[in-house]
Amino acid sequence: MTNRRKFITQAVLGGLGLSIGQAAKGATNGQSVTALPTVISTWNNLPANKKAWKVIKKGGSALDAVEQGVRVAEADPDDMSVGYGGRPDRDGKVTLDACIMDQEGNCGSVCFLQDIKHPISVARLVMEKTPHVMLAGEGALQFALENGFHRENLLTDKAAKSWEEWKQESHYQPVINIENHDTIGMLAIDKDGKLSGACTTSGAAFKLHGRVGDSPIVGAGLFVDNEVGAAVATGLGEAVVKTAGSFLVVELMRQGRSPQAACEEAIRRITSKQKGYQDFQVAFLAVNREGIIGAHAIHKGFMYALSREGGHEVVQASSSL
């Protein structure tokens, strides 16, 4: 995985130069750049970003863009932390978490959902068709089936093999580092300046059956406030939940911090209060309503995909360690 990331990053950075990433930083320094519209997402899923960008370029909404974008990751069997092909829990079940939030603060979420390939679209329906925010497990599945989704086996041979290998030792160490996750959190600002976000994951590999992480929890894995900006998290969900991470980043921006400073402070909260942070990864990615981006992680290796006028690229984020 690391090698794949390294290769793609180098290929993309080498091909495009740092133009749009530098533009993001330049904006932080007050230089003028064309920062909007913008699509950003955790890690290096350029196909997902490109899909979202296409929606925005056609005049689509940020909400449609993030849903369509992360569906690319959900359908990708090689993405072993999201949707189809995701690593199972320790009982061999693929259980999925996702949430979505729009410019008006509407949000929808599903957690502990099984057998449905596109939890993000179910989350959107929860937002649009129910008076609730979150549906879990059997109830989420029932709701999905009633709304036209179909049951599918999401456990690929590759993911089953990694579970078989894990079972030989079956140490339950829910450590999430740069080697074992690619959860996608995506934020977009459309041509009308509207912000939306989506986050979708199969969660920690080989987790306890029933474990839910930060990704479907509004305020932890994702938060959007169109007056200020938006943030997403990736990494060890338990650590993110304990600090209400994405909400914290947005609130820090509201108080005047730049997106970068807000992400750094949210990571500092984790490293100053939570034991064992040397052994797990958490990263935040944020954008304010002007399209200025911040990204910071505990450990080196976090990166994000950025799409703007001028191209798509993968940008390395800063880290505390």
Encoded one letter per residue, x for contact with ligand ASP by CB under 6 A and - for no contact, window 112-151 reads ----------------------------------------
Among residues 9, 49, 109, 183, the one that binds ligand ASP under rule CB under 6 A: 183
Determine the size of the site formed for ligand ASP (CB under 6 A): 14
- Kindly report the backbone phi and psi dihedral angles of residue 218, in degrees, each rounded to the nearest multiple of 5, phi listed first: -65, 130
Please report, to the nearest 10 degrees, the dihedral formed by the alpha carbons of residues 302, 72, 131, 148 taken in order: -150
179 near 1, Cβ under 8 Å? Answer: yes
Q: Which of 215, 226, 288, 319 binds ligand ASP (CB under 6 A)?
A: 215
For residues 79 and 234, give the distance between their C-alpha atoms in angstroms, rounded to a whole number: 14
3-state secondary structure at position 27: helix
CA distances from 79 to 44, 200, 232, 321 (A): 11, 12, 18, 26
Distance CA 299, CA 281 (A): 6
CB of 94 to ligand ASP, least distance (A): 13
83 contributes a contact to ligand ASP by CB under 6 A: no
What's the one-letter identity of residue 137?
Answer: G
183 catalytic? Reply is yes
Q: 74, 76, 115, 214: which one contacts ligand ASP (CB under 6 A)?
A: 214
How big is the chain by its Cα radius of gyration, in Å?
A: 18
213: nearest Cα among 242, 253, 188, 193: 242
Q: Is 45 in the site for ligand ASP (CB under 6 A)?
A: no
Pick the piece of the chain touching ligand ASP (CB under 6 A) from 106-114, 118-126, 230-238, 251-259. 230-238
Q: Which x/- pattern over 248-267 shows residues binding ligand ASP (rule: CB under 6 A)?
A: --------------------
Active-site pick, 156, 183, 201, 243: 183
282 sits in which H/E element? strand 282-288
Question: Does position 213 bind ligand ASP by CB under 6 A?
Answer: yes
d(CA 105, CA 192): 16
Binder to ligand ASP among 41, 49, 81, 114 (CB under 6 A)? Answer: 81
**176 lies in the site for ligand ASP, by CB under 6 A:** yes
User: Contact, 295 vs 305, CB < 8 A?
Assistant: no
Q: Which stretch binds ligand ASP (CB under 6 A): 2-10, 196-204, 255-263, 292-300?
A: 196-204
Q: Of these, 114, 121, 201, 243, which contacts ligand ASP (CB under 6 A)?
A: 201
Of 80, 123, 204, 252, the one binding ligand ASP (CB under 6 A) is 204
Q: Which residues bind ligand ASP (CB under 6 A)?
A: 81, 176, 181, 183, 201, 203-204, 213-215, 234-237
Which residue numbers are catalytic?
Answer: 183
